[in-house]
């Protein structure tokens, strides 16, 4: 069964997170997702706060830009979350927006090489290994976690282009796709992920979780808000991307993505969503029952 989530957009100030997280938890929403967008809110701080304020909702960070983070720090923070909140955190690493990386002096010459090295080292550290590596970007000298996670921890990668999707298939346990992904895009991503698994010598039938964002709007002015967001994101001419309407319309769009291969669909409200708490309740109480 496809899991359903909602994004807490970082266009909202951090002090709004508590009320939204609690509303998600109380309404029975399965997953609440957060973004580490420059220069708004840190992914790990918001994830830790959301997990501490709630009891059962799973919290995902999609994604942590690897140019900003030494892999040892990513591993330390990830391990802490997984030990404090077992089974409730999903952490995703990825390229980040390259223009933003350039603004902070962290834009790599080869984002793909950096992501691959980061994924290899992160998975090894979270698996309890002690590493000495000398890569192009990742350099570790006898590094291991004193407090590794208790049990296996899946590591996800954010991906859009073919090379990154293949890399995710080869080196990650799951892939996160943006809201610009149509059902056909999900199918194509699944194929590229499987190719990456095969190229790495793995089993293409091995479970690989796919998470996809779905831009969604409901209530008064939903159509206009969705359209404005699509145009702002350069998706004005895109087809089968985004949905505006009531719970039935949103559920139908979720099902199309699920049928295409998405394991989790995360509703992405518009940046000007007037009622974030109401939106998570709408997802949990009105959309979710239509997917059972």
Give a yes or no: residue 247 inside a domain: no
pLDDT in tens, 260-278: 999 999 999 999 999 999 9
End-to-end CA distance of the chain: 8
Residue range 144-152: average pLDDT? 96
Comparing CA positions, the residue from 168, 82, 163 lying closest to residue 126 is: 82
The pLDDT of residue 233: 92
Is 9 exposed, middle or buried, given 0-12, 13-18 or 19+ CB atoms closer than 10 A?
Answer: buried
Residue 234 CB-density burial (10 A; 0-12 exposed, 13-18 middle, 19+ buried) = exposed
Residue 61 domain-assigned (yes or no): yes
pLDDT beyond 70 at 168: yes
For residue 25, being part of any structural domain is answered with: yes
Per the structure, the complete domain to which residue 154 belongs is given by 3-208
Q: Is 177 within a domain?
A: yes
> CA 21 to CA 51: how far, in whole Å?
8
Is residue 59 predicted with pLDDT exceeding 80?
yes
- The answer to whether residue 268 is domain-embedded is no
Residue 233 located in a structural domain: no
Is 225's pLDDT higher than 80? yes
Q: What is the pLDDT of residues 208-218, one digit of tens each?
A: 999 999 999 99
With cut-offs at 50, 70 and 90, classify the pLDDT of residue 180: very high
Confidence band for 187, pLDDT divided at 50, 70 and 90 = very high
240-266 pLDDT, tens digit per residue, is: 999 999 999 999 999 999 999 999 999
Residue 204's pLDDT band (boundaries 50, 70, 90)?
low
**CATH number of domain containing 175:** 3.20.20.30
- pLDDT value of position 255: 98
d(CA 100, CA 98): 5
**Quick check: is 234 in a domain?**
no
- Whole-number pLDDT of residue 78: 98
pLDDT digits (tens, 9 = 90+) for 5-29: 999 999 999 999 999 999 999 999 9
Q: What is the mean pLDDT of the chain?
A: 96
What pLDDT does 203 receive? 72
Closest alpha carbon to 291 in 234, 235, 250, 245: 250
Please check whether residue 115 lies inside any domain of the structure: yes
Place of tokens 């077992």: 86
Q: Work out the pLDDT band at 101, boundaries 50, 70, 90.
A: very high
Per-residue pLDDT at 179: 97
In the chain, the number of structural domains is 1
pLDDT at 1: 79
In this prediction, residues 123-127 reach a mean pLDDT of 98
């Amino acid at each position: 069964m496809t899991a359903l989530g909602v994004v807490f957009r970082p266009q909202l100030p951090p002090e709004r997170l508590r009320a939204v997280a609690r509303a998600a938890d109380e309404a029975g929403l399965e997953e609440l997702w957060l973004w580490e967008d420059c220069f708004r809110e840190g992914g790990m701080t918001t994830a830790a706060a959301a997990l501490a304020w709630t009891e059962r909702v799973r919290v995902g960070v999609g994604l942590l830009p690897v140019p900003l983070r030494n892999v040892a720090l990513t591993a330390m923070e990830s391990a802490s979350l997984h030990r404090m909140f077992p089974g409730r955190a999903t952490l995703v690493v990825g390229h980040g927006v390259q223009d933003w990386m350039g603004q902070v002096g962290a834009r790599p010459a080869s984002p793909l090489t950096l992501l691959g090295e980061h994924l290899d080292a992160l998975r090894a550290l979270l698996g309890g290994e002690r590493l000495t590596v000398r890569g192009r970007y990742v350099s570790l000298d006898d590094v291991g976690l004193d407090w590794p996670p208790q049990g296996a921890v899946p590591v996800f990668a954010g991906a859009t282009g073919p090379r990154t999707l293949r890399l995710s298939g080869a080196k990650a346990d799951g892939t996160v796709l943006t809201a610009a992904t149509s059902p056909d895009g999900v199918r194509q991503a699944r194929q590229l992920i499987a190719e990456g698994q095969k190229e790495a010598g793995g089993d293409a039938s091995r479970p690989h979780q796919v998470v996809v964002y779905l831009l969604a709007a409901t209530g008064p002015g939903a159509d206009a808000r969705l359209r404005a967001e699509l145009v702002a994101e350069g998706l004005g001419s895109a087809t089968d991307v985004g949905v505006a309407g009531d719970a039935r319309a949103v559920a139908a769009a979720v099902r199309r993505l699920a049928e295409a291969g998405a394991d989790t669909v995360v509703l992405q409200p518009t940046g000007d969503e007037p009622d974030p708490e109401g939106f998570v309740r709408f997802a949990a109480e009105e959309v979710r029952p239509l997917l059972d």
